[in-house]
Structure 1
């Protein structure tokens, strides 16, 4: 009888597990089908959006060089509605360069989410607008900005989505400037990527040159607020003395985030050194995955509960080395002039990710994840050699 009951339980477990597997397969099929449908509809949706919103009375003989003086530009609006923190960090070099040569120019920036925290204390930015993915809110925002009568709008998108086309159209800036937009009525001024672009910042420097900016430092300009500095000071007081290593194991993509096994291997290696403290960056669900490490490595590993990205920046500013697979933290560390070890996938033919989005930092090293991912997927960042990591870490420590 006991054997029979045991068999029933096993059978019941098998049925439940098989059901879960079938449900997972069904969800996966639906997700793949949805992706196929979206890929099919996207170009049609974009073409229709362009037909509706690509409308503007273009000015004749608009200058394509030395634009600020040639067209008497007194206000510039930067569009950064993509929510990419790293891009906004690099944009800060533009704000400083423009205001240094032309202090009278008004600079407005449209940002989304955490990108606005990057510039909320930036003395070179006059106005920050909040972008939300909602047609009603976009129209309201465009109406408010239109009243400001901007002379020049600069868009950084490689692919314009319909909501973004609508926003640019409704803002009604005197001149619109965009990347490779020769076949658009909406854009008066066009810029292109430099032929030998070694880093994404080269593109922004190219735009500054077209505007007529003569002196360009090229360094990011990160300005941290007093409250962020104070919160960081309180946290670092708990960390105490010792060499401080910032270790960020996570990125926006699952393929660029480290698994717990790799995280612990890196922690164990770093802690071989005496008097070292590891500050582990993790938020939300990622925090839940690693919070046990604070207890496991008590008084050695600390996880800050930062309120925003610039509070993280304030902690990084007081650190000795930054390790990250995420370009946001890579650029943040670069902007704060910190030695940096980046984790990147190996560039394959036609791919220059680690070059274009690399540290751009003389005090930096890169460890590459080798191999190729599944069809249509990135290489798993965990496919890097710990020996390569150790060599790069030692080299930075020596320098």
Structure 2
């Protein structure tokens, strides 16, 4: 009861703080008139800045389609991306990204970064946030791009262009296509793309050489939320199902700190189960690109597998129809080689996240055996 009351209070205070922040920062000294027609060409857009301060790896993977489609049509446009954490690695080797800015939450760093970006004189800033925090409002304001573009920002003064999510059971790529079409770009290829250094490829290739002529099954039991982690009992069950086929080699992936949690399980599963140490998400991504099958409850890994059209079994929670959730569609794999298995946690209380482990292991086994 106390937890629920605290959550209600925090939500109330957050709304108040955001209103104050919007009052302070939602302004633009000089509003430039938007010329009709092809937005990029008619408004002389030479530099575009993408705001991805959430640091989400999966979102950044999907964003790669936008960088490519802009450069494909307008190769001379300079693309900058603001990001943080592991998401930076996703685009460090991307030839379609010209500049990367590191976002830090503290106010001092945010101001310094904004002033640095303002000197670059970006023509267009594109933001993807459904809700802007005060720090982000300040950042966008101080970047001083000629035009600011944002999601559902019709009632904001500092945004010149607003875009909306298409209605219905749509995939997130439809939203990104919507943005590109507003810029005047058509005939859009929605495939993602990732780029690797020779060092990243060499390390993984060396690992796989030792497993030559064997089928590689990459299993990621972990997700960003503990409620979406596969529990140890199910990890063992899934591992044993995979290794029923003697030609399979099971490779676990995840953060280094998770390796210790699986030491006993790997020992129980035997010599055909491994947890190699990958330096970052790009080494992991290259490993996924070589897999015969990928199993994961994490959408970041889903989107990486989608970039290479790997055979995939993705474990999702079933959407709550009462709340009109569309997560399974919006963040789904969206390609033929992938299948979704659903966890049915119908006893979850209001305000709590469903347990991903309420899936049917027999259904999962059936899908694994198909491959």
TM-score band by shorter chain is over 0.9
Counterpart contact for 2:35–2:43, Cα < 8 Å: yes
Deviates more, 1:89-98 or 1:52-61: 52-61
> Does 2:355 align with 1:380?
yes
Determine if contact 1:58/1:186 at 8 Å carries over to the other structure. no
Q: Report whether the alignment pairs 1:207 with 2:207.
A: no
Give the TM-score, by structure 1 length. 0.89
Q: 1:52 to 1:175 in 2, by over 3 A?
A: same
Q: Does 1:77 align with 2:77?
A: no
CA RMSD of aligned residues (A): 1.7
Equivalent residue, structure 1, for 2:236: 264
Distance 1:152 1:330, change over 3 A: same
Greater Rg by CA? 1
Distance 1:230 1:64, change over 3 A: farther
How far apart in 1 are the matches of 2:185 and 2:252? 40
Q: Secondary structure at the match of 1:343?
A: strand
The answer to which of 213-222 and 287-296 deviates more is: 287-296
The verdict on how the C-alpha distance between 1:60 and 1:105 changes in structure 2, with shifts beyond 3 A counting, is: closer
Question: Deviations for 1:26-60, whole angstroms, at most 9, x for unmatched residues?
Answer: xx95x666544322210001001101110103535
Match of 1:315 in 2: 287
Equivalent residues of 1:181, 1:187 under 8 A apart: yes
Q: Which one of the candidate residues 117, 125, 131 is aligned to 1:153? A: 125
Aligned residue for 1:228?
A: 200
Could you tell me whether the CA contact under 8 Å between 1:112 and 1:132 is conserved in 2?
yes
Matched, 1:142 2:117: no
Question: In the comparison of the two structures, how many residue pairs are matched?
Answer: 368
Q: Deviations over 1:197-231 (max 9, x none)?
A: 52011100110111111231110011112221122
Residue 240 of structure 2 contacts residue 269 of structure 2 at CA under 8 Å; is this kept in 1?
Answer: no
Establish whether residue 343 from structure 1 lines up as the match of residue 331 from structure 2: no
Q: Which of 241, 249, 257 in structure 2 is aligned with 1:277?
A: 249
Q: Distance in 1 between matches of 2:179 and 2:186?
A: 12
Structure 2 residue ranges without an equivalent (≥5): none
Q: Which residue of 2 aligns with 1:394?
A: 369
Larger mean CA deviation between 331-340 and 294-303 belongs to 294-303
- Which residue matches 1:190? 162
Match of 1:301 among 269, 273, 276: 273
Asked if structure 1 preserves the Cα contact closer than 8 Å seen for 2:32 and 2:146, the reply is: no
Distance 2:366 2:181 in 1: 39
Deviation of 1:308 (Å): 0.7
Structure-2 change in CA distance of 1:301 and 1:63 (3 Å)? farther
Contact 2:319–2:325 (Cα < 8 Å) also in 1: yes
TM-score of the pair, normalised by structure 2: 0.95
Aligned to 1:9: none
Cα gap change, 1:213 to 1:267, in 2 (>3 Å):
same
Partner of 1:10: none
